[in-house]
Structures are given as C-alpha cells and as structure tokens.
Chains A and B, each alone.
Chain A
Amino acid sequence: MLQTDANPHLIATDRCGEQLQFPAIEALWQLLDQVPDPEVPVVSVVDLGIVRELRWEQRQLVVTLTPTYSGCPATEFIEEAVAAALRAAGITNLRLVQQLAPAWTTDWISAAGREKLRAFGIAPPVGSASKRTLWGEEPEVACPHCGSPQTTRVSEFGSTACKALYRCDSCLEPFDYFKCI
C-alpha cells in the first residue's frame, strides 16, 4: 500500500495504459451506484455513503472513500471493487484516497439505500447519529417484515459490527437492525 505524508492518504494509483475518455462526474456516480456492498449486497457503496467524492484532477480521476467501521473487514474489498468498476469503464488513470475525518455516519445512507435495506429485511437506522447520546433512550425500531413497532433488542451486535439483533414481538421474526452511529 502506497501512502502520502498526511491524511487523507493515498491507497493506490494506476497509470498503465492511455486513457482517452473522461466521462462526466455524474455518470461516474451512477456507475459506482452499481457496485454492491460486499456484506449487504442490496445496497451500493454509494447508497451507504462510502464514496465521498469524485473529481477529475486534470487527466486523473480522484476517488475519495471512507471506511464505515474501523474494523470493517470489507474495506479493502470495496476499494478493489470500486477500482475494478472504474477500470472496466475505461478509467485507467485513477487515484483512490482514504479519508477518515469526518468519520462515517449512518446519516449518510441515502433514502433509496434505507428503503432497499428495509425491503431486504434489515431495519434501517432510526433517527440522527449526531443526536444520539451515550445513555440516550433506545430508538423505537420497526419490524422490517410486518412494520410493527413492538420489537425487542436481543443483542447490541448482529452478524456484523454495523448491525444489532432484534426480534419482532408481533410476528416473532428475528431481524437485523442497522445501528445508528
């Protein structure tokens, strides 16, 4: 892994091959919106707010990514998937930059992303992360299957660090809740 001197640091750079086309930034956002998150494939890396910025620096495309959780094991996989999607679209002069601050928050998950999570059976984050306090009230999480607000938290951690495990008291189905951070 190559690195520059300061944050944000350089993840990788690729100059092989001559690049002839320079698509509009908006088209590239749409392209990356097709790259699924490896752990929750119904949402894209754009839906999750992992892609922070796309910009042309003369002939080089600079992609700024932010990791979700510090220990997210999918971070490298996502970097590679984003680079691969762009290369497949003919973007060979590419620079990926990792940005830690401001820290990723579930507030950045798009409205479309929240709806896709719910349809997949994962309750999307409730409320705003910036207003959540250490000993604040537990949010009221609605069941993604039947919509009932009567649910119980089973564990603070679900199948991955970003989720908590809940059970619906109405339809009795267990479900994952995408935690608000």
Chain B
Amino acid sequence: MKQNQALFEYLLRLGDSNMILGQRLCEWIGQAPALEEEMALGNLALDLIGQARSWLEYAARVEDAGHSADELAFTRDERAYRNLLLVEQANGNFADTLARQYLFDQYHYHLLGALSSSTDAQVAAIAAKGLKEVTYHLRRSSAWIKRLGDGTAESHAKMQQAIDEIWTYSGEMFIADEVDRVLAAAGIGADLDPLQRLWEADVQALLAEATLTCPPLEQYMQRGSKQGLHTEQLGFLLAEMQFLPRAYPGASW
C-alpha cells in the first residue's frame, strides 16, 4: 500500500469518528436532562465537528481528486465511512451516552497526544490543537462516570449497565491493519500497542474509582469499520445527516 493512499484512509478514520460522534451528540439538543448538560453536549459536538472538518479538509487535499471536505462528509455512503463502531452507537440514556463518550475520550486523548509528534506537520498541527479541546472532554466525561458510578444505587446500576453494553465496541480502535502499520512505521500515525496499554490502565483505574466493575479486557471485540462494515445504527444516522445536502446539492443560506 502506498503511503499517500494509507494517509487518506487514516485521515478519513480520524475525521469520520469525530463527525459521527458529533452528529450523535447533536441529537441530545432539546432533550438533555439539564440545560447546562445540553450546552455542554452541544459544545462537545461543535469541537468534534470542527476537528472532523480539519481532518477531512486535509484528507481532500491528500486524495487530490477534486472533492471538498463537505463532499467527503455528505456524499459518501455507509460502506465508505470509516468511523469506529463505538461512536455510531445510539445515544440510549444519559449513562449510555457518557459511557460511549468516556471510552472514546480516553482513547482520543492518548491518540492526539501521540499524533501531536507526527512527522507529518499538518497531522501534528491538527492533533495538537484538538488535544487541548479533548483534554476538557476527558475531564468532563471522567467526572460524570465517577459521579454516576459512585452515586445512588440507581445511577450506579445504570452506569454499570451502560459500560457493560458498549464494551464490545471498545476494542476495535486498537486492532491495527495495514494502514495503521504503514503509517506508524513512517512516524505519521500512532503505534496502537502502547496506546492500548495506556487506555486500559486509565479505564481500569477510573472505573475502580467510580466503584464500577471493568468488563474483561480479553473479551471478543466487534470490528469492521476500518473496512467500512458498520452496525445497523450508521445508516439511519447518515440518512438524517446527509438528506439536505443530497436533496438540495450546493444549498446555502
């Protein structure tokens, strides 16, 4: 695999995971349990969609096929999307959303930390900028996991159930394929093994502090997004997200 082709794939993965999680979080607008939480979720989504835009703009330049970042976001079908299965999962209840968010934030934090020293200057620049924002995301989701896990009997039970149910989607981010290997070898992408060790240690420590039980790390993990094989959740999300630009191409207001 050529390095440029691998980089395009890699940038799509980074951009798509941010884009899809941002879109999911927007679904909370108008329904969050408190006004402050609604603003927080909306701002979180904005950060993620902003980062997605930076990654997809760079992807479009690397692809060099005349596509814009918007075209990459709004005209690719499900099988061409490269976001993690984790982030496309439905919002569920507030604990489900936070479990998904925390497991992603913890990964995102270490990933952007590693990419901040990428040999590709643009990857390093986008990552370093995003890392400042993601540090806030992680601080916030970690605090919520502790608060609900170590809260009432009901919040504890809901938080535990949320972690248990999303867990099977948490391992995919560390399953390396050829794209990961080519770019890690070139110093452009992140080496996933050390990332996984950091993530596991952090997640185990936080769940313990939250009086929650960490599910087994060796459990079978769902996979497929790196090849464009998604769960049924993604199609519905894309249908909503892409409807307007597909029905009215080039619409502006």
A88 contacts the other chain (Cβ, under 8 Å)? no
Closest B residue to A99 by CB, please name it. Answer: B125
B221 contacts the other chain (Cβ, under 8 Å)? no
- A156 to B139, Cβ gap below 8 A? yes
B48 contacts the other chain (Cβ, under 8 Å)? yes
Interchain nearest-CB distance for A82 vs B (Å):
19
CB within 8 Å for A70 and B122 given contacts A100-B129, A103-B128, A155-B40? no
Interchain nearest-CB distance for B116 vs A (Å):
9
Interface size class of B (residues with CB under 8 A): 20 to 34
Partner of A157, one of B39, B57, B121: B39
A177 contacts the other chain (Cβ, under 8 Å)? no
Contacts of B130 in A (CB 8 A): 70
Q: How far is B132's CA from A136's CA once the two chains are assembled, in angstroms? A: 14
CB contact list, A27-57 vs B, under 8 A: none
B46 contacts the other chain (Cβ, under 8 Å)? yes
- B125 to A100, Cβ gap below 8 A? yes
- B122 to A156, Cβ gap below 8 A? no
- B51 to A160, Cβ gap below 8 A? no
The prevalent SS among residues of A at the interface is loop
- B46 to A73, Cβ gap below 8 A? yes
- B36 to A165, Cβ gap below 8 A? yes
Q: How far is B139's CA from A97's CA once the two chains are assembled, in angstroms? A: 33
B108 contacts the other chain (Cβ, under 8 Å)? no
- B50 to A101, Cβ gap below 8 A? no
Contacts of A70 in B (CB 8 A): 47, 50-51, 53-54, 126, 129-130, 133
Interchain nearest-CB distance for B208 vs A (Å):
16
CB within 8 Å for A181 and B54 given contacts A100-B125, A155-B40, A161-B47? no
- B44 to A103, Cβ gap below 8 A? no
Contact bitstring B29-60, A, C-beta under 8 A = 1, else 0: 00000001101101110111111011001000
A175 contacts the other chain (Cβ, under 8 Å)? no
B212 contacts the other chain (Cβ, under 8 Å)? no
A20 contacts the other chain (Cβ, under 8 Å)? no
B67 contacts the other chain (Cβ, under 8 Å)? no
Q: How far is B131's CA from A118's CA once the two chains are assembled, in angstroms? A: 27
B20 contacts the other chain (Cβ, under 8 Å)? no
Interface size class of A (residues with CB under 8 A): 20 to 34
B183 contacts the other chain (Cβ, under 8 Å)? no
B158 contacts the other chain (Cβ, under 8 Å)? no
Partner of B47, one of A69, A101, A104, A155: A69
B76 contacts the other chain (Cβ, under 8 Å)? no
CB within 8 Å for A71 and B46 given contacts A154-B36, A179-B136? yes
CB within 8 Å for A160 and B43 given contacts A70-B50, A165-B36? yes
- B139 to A181, Cβ gap below 8 A? no
- A69 to B133, Cβ gap below 8 A? yes
Q: How far is B125's CA from A130's CA once the two chains are assembled, in angstroms? A: 16
- B43 to A157, Cβ gap below 8 A? yes
CB within 8 Å for A7 and B122 given contacts A69-B47, A103-B132, A181-B132? yes
Closest A residue to B122 by CB, please name it. Answer: A7
- A155 to B133, Cβ gap below 8 A? no
Q: A71-B49, A134-B135, A158-B39 are in contact. List 18 more A-B contacts (CB 8 A).
A: A6-B121, A7-B122, A70-B47, A70-B54, A70-B126, A71-B47, A71-B53, A71-B133, A100-B54, A100-B125, A101-B124, A103-B129, A134-B139, A155-B36, A155-B39, A156-B40, A157-B42, A181-B132
Residues of A within 8 A of B (CB): 3, 5-7, 69-73, 100-105, 129, 134-135, 154-161, 165, 179, 181
Can you list 18 pairs linking A and B with CB atoms under 8 Å apart?
A: A5-B61, A70-B47, A71-B49, A71-B51, A100-B54, A100-B125, A101-B121, A101-B128, A101-B129, A134-B138, A154-B36, A155-B36, A155-B40, A156-B40, A156-B140, A157-B36, A157-B44, A181-B132
